[in-house]
């Protein structure tokens, strides 16, 4: 059973969630072995999940389940029935949490997904707004409706963009006790630490770490920025 307090325990170590969409340059095992002192959680993206497969991801999570929390970035956007099949796989692989879209609406979709997540002891994050430039064209216009629907069913986890930190502030205003994970740091242009200053609980950092020839030195540098900005 993964609860809000479990994430906050890891937050004491660091505000970093590493986004693993591709193999880190030093290989996943060495990376996870060495990055324990820098990173709180690991968000596994669909490209990595599909390329490794269910059994290999299960093995990885099983090996490091005490060291990190694991989020399955499956961004559900389907009917409840399909959502539940996906959640079964997420549970089987040993993840603590997963991400769903919220624009699918409650009845027959998000409501069912939330209920099933609770039943299986998985923590649910809903995408409140997205980080890329085109997000403002359609997706982010629905921010209020997504938040309202999520509130109705007691969602406490949100994804909100570091590139558009106003959404982070708005999530925090609407659900003060929520946990906010924020992508867009590094490769997409947001500065390290700014999402945390806007109210995010964790920053999701992908390519800045995974593409680095020396991810551990990069993590050292990131931690230094957090210290200078006094967010840790
Ligand atoms: P990167 O730091 O390499 O840009 O990776 C960002 C990660 O956050 C990716 O895994 C992406 O799927 C995810 N993400 C995002 O970039 N923007 C969003 O709005 C929502 C996301 O989940």
- CATH number of the domain bearing residue 217: 3.20.20.70
45 lines ligand 1 (CB under 6 A): yes
Q: What distance in Å separates the CA atoms of residue 119 and residue 139, rounded to the nearest whole number?
A: 29
H-helix or E-strand containing 76? strand 69-76
Mean pLDDT of the chain: 97
**pLDDT tens, position by position, 197-228:** 999 999 999 999 999 999 999 999 999 999 99
Give me the pLDDT at residue 4, please.
Answer: 86
What single DSSP character describes residue 22?
A: S
What single DSSP character describes residue 65?
A: T
Distance 184 CA to ligand 1 centre (A): 6
Distance of CA 187 to the CA centre of its chain: 16
Q: Give, rounded to a whole angstrom, the gap between the first and last alpha carbons of the chain.
A: 27
Give me the pLDDT at residue 190, please.
Answer: 98
21 lines ligand 1 (CB under 6 A): yes
Give me the pLDDT at residue 129, please.
Answer: 98
Count: domains in the chain = 1
Give me the pLDDT at residue 140, please.
Answer: 98
Please choose, from the candidates 181, 190, 192, 160, the residue with its C-alpha nearest in 3D space to the C-alpha of residue 71. Answer: 181
For residue 193, what are the domain limits? 4-229
Average pLDDT over residues 162-178: 97
Distance 183 CA to ligand 1 centre (A): 5
Average pLDDT over residues 161-171: 98
Distance 51 CA to ligand 1 centre (A): 18
24 lines ligand 1 (CB under 6 A): no
Give me the catalytic one of 9, 36, 75, 229. Answer: 75
- Report the atom number in ligand 1 closest to the C-alpha of 187: 4
Tokens 């559900």, located at residue: 76
Whether residue 1 is predicted with pLDDT greater than 80 in this model: the reply is no
Q: What distance in Å separates the CA atoms of residue 56 and residue 53, rounded to the nearest whole number?
A: 6
State both tokens at 204.
């999701």
Whether residue 34 is predicted with pLDDT greater than 90 in this model: the reply is yes
Contacts of 180 (CB under 8 A, 6+ apart): 157, 158, 159, 160, 168, 171, 172, 199, 200, 201, 202
Torsion of CA 145, 150, 156, 160, to 10 degrees: -30
State both tokens at 63.
């090996």
Based on the residue annotation, tell me whether 172 is a catalytic residue of this protein. Answer: no
**pLDDT tens, position by position, 51-72:** 999 999 999 999 999 999 999 9
Give me the pLDDT at residue 149, please.
Answer: 98
Q: Whose C-alpha lies nearest to ligand 1, atom 19?
A: 130
Measured CA distances, 119 to 36, 70, 87, 123, 149 (Å): 30, 18, 11, 10, 20
Average pLDDT over residues 171-185: 97
Give me the pLDDT at residue 131, please.
Answer: 98
Whether residue 50 is predicted with pLDDT greater than 80 in this model: the reply is yes
pLDDT band at 2 (very low <50, low <70, confident <90, very high): confident
Give me the pLDDT at residue 3, please.
Answer: 86
Q: What distance in Å separates the CA atoms of residue 129 and residue 77, rounded to the nearest whole number?
A: 14
């Amino acid at each position: 059973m993964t609860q809000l307090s479990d994430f906050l325990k890891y937050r004491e170590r660091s505000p970093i969630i590493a986004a693993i969409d591709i193999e880190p340059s030093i290989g996943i095992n060495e990376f996870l072995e060495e990055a324990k002192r820098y990173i709180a959680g690991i968000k596994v993206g669909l490209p990595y999940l599909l390329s490794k497969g269910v059994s290999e991801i299960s093995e990885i999570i099983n090996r490091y389940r005490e060291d990190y929390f694991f989020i399955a970035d499956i961004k559900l956007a389907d009917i409840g029935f399909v959502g539940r099949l996906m959640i079964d796989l997420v549970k089987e692989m040993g993840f603590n949490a997963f991400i769903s879209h919220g624009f699918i609406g409650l009845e027959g979709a998000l409501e069912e997904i939330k209920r099933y997540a609770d039943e299986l002891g998985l923590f649910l994050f809903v995408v409140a707004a997205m980080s890329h430039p085109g997000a403002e064209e359609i997706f982010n216009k629905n921010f209020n409706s997504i938040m309202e629907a999520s509130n109705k069913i007691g969602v406490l986890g949100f994804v909100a963009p570091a590139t558009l930190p106003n959404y982070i502030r708005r999530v925090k205003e609407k659900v003060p006790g929520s946990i906010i994970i924020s992508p867009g740091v590094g490769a997409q242009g947001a500065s390290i630490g700014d999402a945390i200053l806007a109210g995010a609980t964790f920053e999701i950092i992908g390519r800045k770490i995974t593409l680095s020839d020396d991810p551990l030195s990069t993590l050292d540098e990131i931690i230094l920025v957090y210290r200078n900005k006094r967010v840790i």
